[in-house]
């Protein structure tokens, strides 16, 4: 397949590109500078993208977006929102015209997040569950809706709702490791909140799987089948590192450190199940948190 990718230099986009290229797919990247050859397409999110620039591709994969792990000032929230909505609309509108004129691209994979569900205690959340409340829930609803132009034109739209992505090469896990390696880790807040997670390898595998399943569209929970509470997560991480987990971070301290974002990023509870991925036949490589962490941390 000919595949165009946004966010190709990021943790997830880079891993997906490497995997797809290794399996014989031809990859081109969306860049914001002048392109240097046929494997790059220049774009500017929020500005119209010429449909002919996407018309040669079978699929577009959209991973670009500002990191949400920061203090949410009004400026930061605006930038987070614009980085997702504007880029998604830009791609969806270009794809819609190209698809109507020539039938390509036929697939648009646009990432979303389990923040869609809001904080829901121990409720089991599946793709059919209603959206929740809060900044991330409102953001992800708008983010997913930004693909509408492509969907209405007949493009197959797939929306992976990402859980906490675990990787030894970046992301939340690498930020947690220093404290846990020193034996200074512990639960956050009550620890009863569910932290749904997925390994980067399963994100990569899930994207490739859905690219090949032409009959499936819509939202898919990208979350391992065994979600755990924060207390279980931190205890397991400490055990894999052969360290204690006896220094909890009170909710108040989390809020002092991260402001309002702490309530949605650290203290919210989302017990997410990958019902549609499992029903479609995807087999998770990392279903057990302990085994996933042991494999990830073996070389770091």
What is the band of 299 on the pLDDT scale with cuts at 50, 70, 90?
low
Total count of domains within the chain: 1
The pLDDT tens digits of the residues spanning 193-205 come to 999 999 999 999 9
What is the band of 129 on the pLDDT scale with cuts at 50, 70, 90?
very high
- CATH number of domain containing 110: 3.40.50.720
The pLDDT tens digits of the residues spanning 18-67 come to 999 999 999 999 999 998 888 999 999 999 999 999 999 999 999 999 99
Written as one string, the DSSP assignment of the chain is: -EEEEESTTSHHHHHHHHHHHHTT-EEEEEESS---STTEEE--TTS---GGGTTT-SEEEE-------S---HHHHHHHHHHHHHHHHHHHHHHHHHHHHHS---EEEE-EEGGGG---TT-EE-TTSPP--SHHHHHHHHHHHTTHHHHHTT-EEEEEEE-EEE-TTSSHHHHHHHHHHTT----BTTS-SEE-EEEHHHHHHHHHHHHH-TT--EEEEE--SS-EEHHHHHHHHHHHTT------B-HHHHHHHHTTHHHHHTS--BEE--HHHHHHT---S---HHHHHHHHHTT-
pTM recorded for the entire structure: 0.96
What is the band of 192 on the pLDDT scale with cuts at 50, 70, 90?
very high
Domain that holds residue 227: 2-297
With a CB cutoff of 8 Å and minimum separation 6, the contacts of 104 are: 55, 56, 57, 58, 98
């Amino acid at each position: 397949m000919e595949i165009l990718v946004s966010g190709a230099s990021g943790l997830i986009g880079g891993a997906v590109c490497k995997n797809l290229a290794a399996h014989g797919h031809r990859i081109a990247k969306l860049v914001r500078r002048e392109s240097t050859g046929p494997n790059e397409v220049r774009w500017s999110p929020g500005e119209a993208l010429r449909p002919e620039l996407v018309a040669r591709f079978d699929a577009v994969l959209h991973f670009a977006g500002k990191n949400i792990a920061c203090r949410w000032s009004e400026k930061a929230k605006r930038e987070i929102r614009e980085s997702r909505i504007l880029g998604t609309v830009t791609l969806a509108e270009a794809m819609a015209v190209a698809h109507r004129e020539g039938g390509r691209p036929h697939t648009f994979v646009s990432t979303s997040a389990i923040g869609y569900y809001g904080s829901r205690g121990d409720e089991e959340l599946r793709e059919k569950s209603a959206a929740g409340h809060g900044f991330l829930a409102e953001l992800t609803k708008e983010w997913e809706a930004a693909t509408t132009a492509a969907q209405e034109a007949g493009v197959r739209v797939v929306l992976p709702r990402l859980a906490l992505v675990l990787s030894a090469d970046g992301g939340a896990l690498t930020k947690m490791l220093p404290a846990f390696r020193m034996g200074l880790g512990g639960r956050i807040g009550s620890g009863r909140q569910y932290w749904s997670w997925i390994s980067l390898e399963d994100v990569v595998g899930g994207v490739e799987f859905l690219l090949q399943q032409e009959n499936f569209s819509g939202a898919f929970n990208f979350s391992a089948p065994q979600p755990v509470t924060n207390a279980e997560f931190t205890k397991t991480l400490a055990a894999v590192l052969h360290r204690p987990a006896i220094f909890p971070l009170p909710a108040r301290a989390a809020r002092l450190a991260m402001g309002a974002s702490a309530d949605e990023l650290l203290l919210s509870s989302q017990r997410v199940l990958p019902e549609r991925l499992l029903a479609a036949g995807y087999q998770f490589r990392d279903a057990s948190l302990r085994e996933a962490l042991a494999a990830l941390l073996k070389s770091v």
